[in-house]
Structure 1
């Protein structure tokens, strides 16, 4: 039950998230039209109808503004990661987790999918954006490792946990890049299947492990 005390907090959080998303969309749109070097924080703030001061309350750099995870993906992540089972092999479970996450993108047809495709295509030609994404991925990976370690009853220093999570994350990155390339090259036929691309990437990794 939502209490009167909870309601203002929920409203503030929704407003905060809405502002964050509006700034992010403005940044992504400007980057696509002008390139990252061709726009400033002031340009993004003006497009999002906020002040530069407000911008910096949300993001440290203009590149970070374009890298907001879609709320559907975040919600799925929180739901799935808590369902990990400590008594079963971890890597297959992490791969299944990523499949559920990637399914939210619906091959670029959902709002989250369109956002991801735009980002992956931009990162191919914008080194500063890709570097910012790599740094953010490192931060998120550490958070993910800590979450997984807590669920399975170990610590973030557990080498098996770290290797598993980082390996799975690398495979997702490879799959996203291959998928974005395929989407960009496509002229006819169905939209490239992101989940199938990820499964193929995982299969290639397992073949390499077998030697």
Structure 2
């Protein structure tokens, strides 16, 4: 049975994410063709069919526009985060979350996986994009730590931050190892690489 179509606030959020995604795809296309320095916000907005004012309602900078996740995957991540509770170790639950995310990349074959590889390759050539990614990742980490600390009813976020930072580091190392191997013509399996990285973390 198919899921009911979203309505009300859910529909508005879905439309907001779709607009955000559309702007991001145009920004990424332009960055790949002409570089970040030679791309303007007006060009991105025109390509996405929105005004520059609308662009800035979604993104603080043009670099940030290329760093948006996939809509369906983001929604699934939200569902998994909503299900996190105190019954199991937080690190184990975060590893389940990341395993689902990495699985959705389908070794670069899915839309989300292809998008990930495009952004990563662009980041290697564009220092400004790498800097923007670091800032955005830091904010997302802070937001996730605060959210999980509230969800688990904790008075202090130290344990939550350690779990989030550690699991995030494993994912970053995994993605770097996987993408580097692909670029070198000796591809490795993404989920198998993640499983090995998790095993190393637990062995420490």
1:132-211 matches, within 5 Å, as 132-155=132-155, 157-186=156-185, 192-207=188-203, 209=204
Tell me, yes or no, if the aligned pair for 1:120 and 1:176 is still in contact at 8 Å.
no
Which residue is 2:40 aligned to? Answer: 40
Instruction: Classify 1:58/1:31 alpha carbon distance in 2 versus 1 (closer, same or farther; 3 Å).
Output: same
Structure 1: give runs of 5+ residues left out of the alignment.
Answer: none
How far apart are residue 137 of structure 1 and its match?
0.8
Which residue is 1:56 aligned to? Answer: 56
How far apart are residue 10 of structure 1 and its match?
4.8
Structure 2: give runs of 5+ residues left out of the alignment.
Answer: none
CA distance in 2: counterparts of 1:145 and 1:35, whole angstroms: 34
Instruction: Classify 1:144/1:186 alpha carbon distance in 2 versus 1 (closer, same or farther; 3 Å).
Output: same
Instruction: Classify 1:202/1:10 alpha carbon distance in 2 versus 1 (closer, same or farther; 3 Å).
Output: closer
How many matched pairs?
200
CA distance in 2: counterparts of 1:108 and 1:131, whole angstroms: 24
CA distance in 2: counterparts of 1:133 and 1:47, whole angstroms: 23
Tell me, yes or no, if the aligned pair for 1:141 and 1:165 is still in contact at 8 Å.
yes
- For each residue in 1:85-124, what CA deviation from the matched residue of structure 2 results, as whole angstroms up to 9, or x when unmatched? 4132221221121101111111111111111111111111
CA RMSD of aligned residues (A): 2.1
How far apart are residue 8 of structure 1 and its match?
5.7
SS at match of 1:104: helix
Tell me, yes or no, if the aligned pair for 1:105 and 1:112 is still in contact at 8 Å.
yes
How far apart are residue 159 of structure 1 and its match?
1.1
- TM-score, structure 1 as length reference: 0.85
- Runs of 4 or more above 4 Å deviation: 6-11
